[in-house]
Amino acid sequence: MKITMIGTGYVGLVTGTCFAEFGHHVTCVDKLSDKIDRLLAGEIPIYEPGLEALVAKNSQEGRLSFTTDLGKAVAGAEAVFIAVGTPSSRRGDGYADLTYIYEASKEIASFLQGYTVIIDKSTVPVGTARQVARIIKEVNPEADFDVASNPEFLREGAAIADFMRPDRVVLGVETDRAETLLRAVYQPLYLQETPIVKTSIETAELTKYAANAFLATKISFINEMALLCDATGADVVALARGIGMDGRIGAKFLHPGPGYGGSCFPKDTMALMRIAQENGESLRVVEAAIEANGAQKAKMVKKIRDMLGGSEAGKTIAVLGLTFKPETDDMRDSPSITILPALLEKGAVIRAHDPQGMEEARQLLPDSIIYTSNSYEACKGADAVIIMTEWNQYRALDLERLGSVMKQKIFIDLRNVYQPDLVKEKGFRYDGVGRS
């Protein structure tokens, strides 16, 4: 099948490449000629494990191409996916900014040839697909097309595996023709018996937000439980096992930490709250999850301060991990963006390391941060070390070596990666999240 992917951001690039891997012929389009030039040269603009090899393979085999020429890419395509960005609006009110979606719809319209399905892949508020249809009809009343919504549930860092083995595929369609075509797009998942959930277009649009909001709520719930564990002397890791083994609750997304971040949960929970308000409803649980997430970061600053004896002024803090999660270079809404400036403001000196995120971190974090080449460098002369992101290389640190270069042996494990007793045995004072 001939597929066009509009937008080569994270979602567009991963999805387009994986469709090509399925055997479809995919053209990825982007307005940024720099980006397209880099992709044509085999350079991948984001860090996503396995993506570079998959792009190279499918480009070489002639199923994947990149262009800035939208007209050529759309002409003759059977499925056109819109995967452009939907950032939070610049007004700062939490609404999703749909400018790029509507621009893309206008541009696609005049190039459509034959029956085409235009599919929203981006995370968009309820009603967006209908607006896309309206725009296309306005520009090209003759066009033979349907719109559909097919939200993505990929996680950064595990996107290819998530794409190839999804828990489900959600198809929001309203004609048999569109359904048949989209089922054909996902036909390669048939052998794995991947469930296809067919819904109305509005339901599919809302399902994406509901999934992210539920996961964000689950994290905020366990983060609050961790705070209660800290206050009562209980252990949240055991507690999470104790509740997670109940099939109705589920063990995933019950890892407490410094708060959720990334390009999705913070933006999508806010957008969902706004969608509800616009429709005369209030999602109090989601609102509370957002608030708890903000509070969690502030609590982490306090935890660090307490471990340092009540003040971070003049103390050197080693921070391991800056990205919002491991296996990505993405710093968007990372907890480190809130926590580190708060420590610096009170006079701390910060020595940081991240395997992939330091380049982006330099643009977003205060200049005074000292970036180092590895964990042990970061810990030189430090009063405390903080595990901020659970990268694999921080999971088995040589604690004796670490301790030998530090000024004070204080270990603050904001991802609960270490067994407290093992760290304490090496002479450290240890604190995790909900493990006191």
d(CA 59, CA 40): 9
Binding segment (CB under 6 A) for ligand UGA, from list 26-34, 60-68, 110-118, 262-270 = 262-270
Q: Quick one: which of 25, 155, 183, 380 contacts ligand UGA (CB under 6 A)?
A: 155
Q: Should residue 253 be labelled a site residue for ligand UGA when binding is judged by CB under 6 A?
A: yes
Q: How far is the CB of 429 from ligand UGA (least distance, A)?
A: 24
CA 291 to chain centre: 19
Applying CB under 6 A, what is the total number of residues that bind ligand UGA? 20
Q: Residue 102 or 153: which CB sits closer to ligand UGA? A: 153
Stretch in the footprint of ligand UGA (CB under 6 A) among 55-63, 152-160, 347-355, 372-380: 152-160
Helices 201-232, 236-244: inter-axial angle, 10-degree rounding: 140
379: annotated active-site residue: no
Please tell me whether residue 257 binds ligand UGA under the rule CB under 6 A. yes
DSSP-H helix ranges across 143-200: 159-164, 176-185
Shortest Cβ distance from residue 301 to ligand UGA (Å)? 17
Restricting to residues 314-333, which ones interact with ligand UGA according to CB under 6 A?
Answer: 324-325
Task: Return the number of the residue (81 or 265) whose C-beta is nearest ligand UGA.
Answer: 265
Distance CA 70, CA 187 (A): 26
**β-strand pairing of 145-149 with 116-120:** parallel
Identify the bridge partners of residue 387 per DSSP, sorted by sequence position. 320, 413
Q: Which of 9, 166, 261, 434 binds ligand UGA (CB under 6 A)?
A: 261
Distances (CA, A) of 304 to 143, 213, 325, 380, 430: 60, 28, 20, 18, 11
Catalytic residue among 18, 28, 229, 264: 264
Judged by CB under 6 A, does residue 267 bind ligand UGA? no
Long-range CB pairs of 193-199, under 8 A, 24+ apart, other chains included? 194/165, 194/166, 194/167, 194/168, 194/169, 195/167, 195/168, 195/169, 196/168, 196/169, 196/171, 197/168, 197/169, 197/170, 197/171, 198/171, 198/173, 199/170, 199/171, 199/172
By CB under 6 A, is residue 154 in contact with ligand UGA? yes
Binding test (CB under 6 A) with ligand UGA, winner from 265, 391, 418, 428: 265
Residue 394's contacts (CB-CB under 8 Å, 6 or more residues apart) are 320, 321, 375, 387, 417
The torsion angles phi and psi of 283, rounded to 5 degrees, stand at -100, 85
Stretch that binds ligand UGA, among 13-21, 53-61, 102-110, 256-264 (CB under 6 A): 256-264
Q: Does 299 bind ligand UGA (CB under 6 A)?
A: no
Q: Nearest approach, Cβ of 254 to ligand UGA (angstroms)?
A: 6
107-136 residues in contact with ligand UGA (CB under 6 A) are 123
Residue labelled with tokens 């982006």: 360
Contact residues for ligand UGA, defined by CB under 6 A: 123, 152-156, 212, 215, 219, 253-255, 257, 260-262, 264-265, 324-325
Active-site positions? 264
